[in-house]
Amino acid sequence: MHWIFAALFPLVLQAEPVSPFPNGALLLDPQHAEWNKNGMLVPPKLQPFPDGDGFDTDVVLAPVLPSEGALIWKTNLPKAGRYLVTLEFAQGRHGNGFEISAGEQVLRGFVPDTRRGMALQEVGALDLLQGSQTIEIKNTTTIENTFMSIGAVYLRPATLREMTRPEIRAALAQSKTHQIPKELRLPGVFSDHIDKAAYARRIVEQIEQLVYEPATR
C-alpha cells in the first residue's frame, strides 16, 4: 500500500497554492488541502470514498471536529473578482453546519444527510483579491457528533455556469499531477463481463473532451 501514499502524500506536504483553470475557476481538492490544527499546519486526514454513482472519486477529506480546527487551501489569483462557491460533500447522518471563509468574509450553511452519497450544494459568493488567498472550511454544529466528508470546494467566476458532478469529477482528475492507477478509480462493483481497461480509456477520453462554457444567462 505504500505506493498509494507515495502518490498522494507529497502533494499535501508541499501544500502548493492552487491556481485557476484557464476559465478562471478554482478547484480545491483534497490533495492540496492543509489542516490548521490548533494553529499548526499538518497533513489532513484523507480517506478513500467509493462513489456509487460511478464518478471518479478517489479520496475525500475525512470529517474534522469543530474543536480540531479548519481545513485550508492556499490559492494564487491573477485578478480580483466575485466567485460563486459550490461544495461537494457526503454526510451519513442528520447533517451538520459549516463555514467557508476567505479573510473576513464568511459563508455559513447546513448540509443535509445524503445517506453517504456525494452531493453538491451552492453556498454563496466570495469577493476575492488578486494574489495570495487562503480559503478555509470548518464544521460548526452537529447532531450526535457526525460531520460531513468533503470531496471538493469549487469556486467559479460569476460569469460561468454551474458545473455538474461529472464535470467536477473530471476536472479533479485533470488537476492531479500524481495519480493512482486507473483501476482503483473505477466503480467498486463490476460484472465479470465488463472490460475494465476499455472502461478506463472511455473515462480518460471524456476528461480530455471536457470543455468549460461561459454562462449564457
Whole-angstrom Cα Rg for the chain: 17
**Lookup: cell for 113:** 444527510
Question: Among the listed ranges 36-50, 51-65, 125-139, 174-188, which one has the minimum average pLDDT value?
Answer: 174-188
Across the chain, the runs of DSSP E, i.e. the strands, are 26-28, 34-37, 40-42, 46-48, 59-61, 70-77, 81-90, 96-102, 105-111, 118-128, 131-142, 149-157
The single residue listed with the C-alpha cell 459550490 is 86
pLDDT confidence of residue 198: 58
**Lookup: cell for 201:** 480509456
pLDDT confidence of residue 186: 36
Query: Model confidence over 11-37: pLDDT tens digits?
Result: 334 568 898 988 889 999 888 899 998
Cβ neighbours around 213 below 10 Å, total: 8
Query: Model confidence over 89-139: pLDDT tens digits?
Result: 988 888 999 999 999 999 999 999 988 788 899 999 999 999 999 999 999
- Position 49 pLDDT exceeds 60: yes
Domains of the chain plus CATH, in order, are: 2-208 (2.60.120.260)
Q: Residue 3: helix, strand or coil by DSSP? A: helix
**Lookup: cell for 211:** 470543455
Query: Model confidence over 153-181: pLDDT tens digits?
Result: 999 999 888 878 778 777 776 665 433 33
Cα separation of 174 and 168, whole Å?
10
The single residue listed with the C-alpha cell 454513482 is 53
Residue 197: pLDDT band (50, 70, 90) is: low
Exposure pattern of 128-151 as b/e (b: 16+ CB <10 Å)?
A: beeeebebbbbbeebeeeebbbbb
Cβ neighbours around 158 below 10 Å, total: 11
